[in-house]
């Protein structure tokens, strides 16, 4: 039995689907029975509840062999670090009480740093808490900045024909596709030969926001598409307009600075090795363009 937390999210949904396709016994965790229903129809057990609830998590993990653990995003968290601690504490208690022995935890590049990395510092805290567990083997997956995060620019592109953010547009940064993250997670969860505490970095491509805009411009047939650098304060206001709390919005601005300053980077490779298969041009064609087409149709409807 493999338990998948965040099973309706960007990586959890892919991990669950790939495991079910392989015929693995899977228990998916989420807050919505309706959103978990497609997995139940494919043979998965469902566990509906809150990951902040240690009792629920203990019951969910009991009898399982392996766990894909992530901290579900909560963009309106009043204090993002406190939220991360709450989810982590429940997970640590549940792992201890259930006796589960193999854990793959979704962390991030920069998870080794104790500050200056925005929301990633919450993942660092989680890594340190998980390391206190005895007789549990844990892999810390450390992917780069998600390619899927660029989908947050969709509204700007459809309404203003621009992309933008607080990071300087010319700086190349490591990025990762959730497809590559899910493939590595599935490999680890099925094989389960990892021991101790180890980390695995996932980098699918290296690209700047200027280059992202050019790739999207070609793919979406918007040749004039360009990236605009916004001030930190304007970026925070924009995030808050999308429902983010000030705490979470400010943390993402700090993350961009952390990437630009080289804090959020691979530990093991210089230059950084591309461990994933998906390049941003693939993502733009296979993921972003269909989403853009759907958004345009929705706007026109």
Please tell me the predicted confidence (pLDDT) of residue 100.
Answer: 95
Q: Is 48 helix (H, G, I), strand (E, B) or coil?
A: strand
- For residue 181, the 8-state DSSP code is H
The whole-number mean pLDDT for each consecutive block of 10 residues of the chain, a chain of 301 residues, reads: 95 96 96 94 95 96 97 92 96 96 96 92 96 95 95 90 92 95 97 94 95 96 94 92 93 92 75 84 96 76 52
Sketch out the chain's domains with CATH numbers.
Answer: 2-146+176-202 (3.40.50.720)
Q: How many Å separate Cα 228 from the centre of its chain?
A: 24
DSSP secondary-structure letter at 288? Answer: I
Of 239, 264, 90, 76, the closest CA to residue 165 belongs to: 239
Tell me if 69 sits within 8 A of 5, measured CB to CB: yes
Give ∠ CA 210-229-175 in degrees, rounded to 5: 45
Give the tokens for residue 111.
């998870």
Residue identified by tokens 């491509």 is 205
Q: DSSP E strands: which ranges in the chain?
A: 2-4, 26-30, 45-48, 66-69, 102-106, 137-143, 145-146, 162-165, 173-176, 197-202, 205-207, 226-229
pLDDT for 44 equals: 96
CA distance 14 to 27: 14
Instruction: Cite the DSSP H helix spans in 99-231.
Output: 120-130, 154-160, 178-191, 209-219
Q: What pLDDT, on the 0 to 100 scale, is given for residue 217?
A: 96
Pairing status of strand 2-4 against strand 26-30: parallel
H or E element that contains 118: none
At 91 the pLDDT is: 97
pTM comes to 0.92
Residue 131, classed as helix, strand or coil, is: coil
């Amino acid at each position: 039995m493999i338990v998948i937390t965040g099973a309706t999210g960007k990586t959890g949904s892919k991990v669950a689907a790939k495991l079910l396709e392989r015929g693995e016994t899977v228990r998916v965790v989420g807050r919505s029975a309706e959103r978990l229903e497609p997995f139940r129809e494919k043979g998965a057990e469902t566990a509906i509840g809150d990951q902040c609830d240690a009792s629920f998590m203990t019951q969910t993990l009991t009898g399982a062999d392996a766990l894909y653990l992530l901290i579900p995003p909560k963009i309106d968290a009043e204090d993002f670090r406190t939220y991360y601690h709450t989810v982590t504490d429940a997970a640590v208690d549940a792992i201890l009480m259930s006796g589960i022995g193999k854990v793959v935890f979704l962390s991030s590049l920069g998870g080794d740093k104790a500050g200056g990395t925005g929301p990633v510092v919450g993942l660092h805290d989680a890594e340190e808490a998980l390391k206190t567990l005895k007789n549990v083997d844990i892999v810390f997956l450390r992917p780069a900045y998600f390619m899927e995060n660029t989908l947050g620019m969709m509204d700007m592109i459809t309404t203003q024909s621009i992309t933008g953010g607080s990071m300087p547009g010319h700086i190349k940064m490591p990025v990762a596709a959730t497809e590559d993250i899910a493939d590595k997670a599935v490999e680890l969860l099925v094989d389960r030969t990892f021991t101790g505490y180890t980390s695995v970095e996932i980098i699918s491509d290296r690209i700047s926001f200027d280059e992202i805009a050019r790739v999207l411009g070609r793919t979406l047939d918007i040749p004039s598409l360009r990236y605009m650098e916004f001030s930190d304060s304007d970026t925070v206001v924009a995030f808050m307009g999308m429902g983010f709390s000030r705490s979470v919005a400010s943390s993402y601005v700090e993350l961009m600075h952390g990437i630009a300053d080289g804090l959020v980077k691979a530990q093991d490779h210089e230059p950084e090795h591309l461990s994933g298969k998906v390049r941003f041009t693939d993502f733009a064609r296979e993921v972003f363009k269909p989403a853009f087409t759907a958004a345009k149709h929705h706007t026109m409807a």
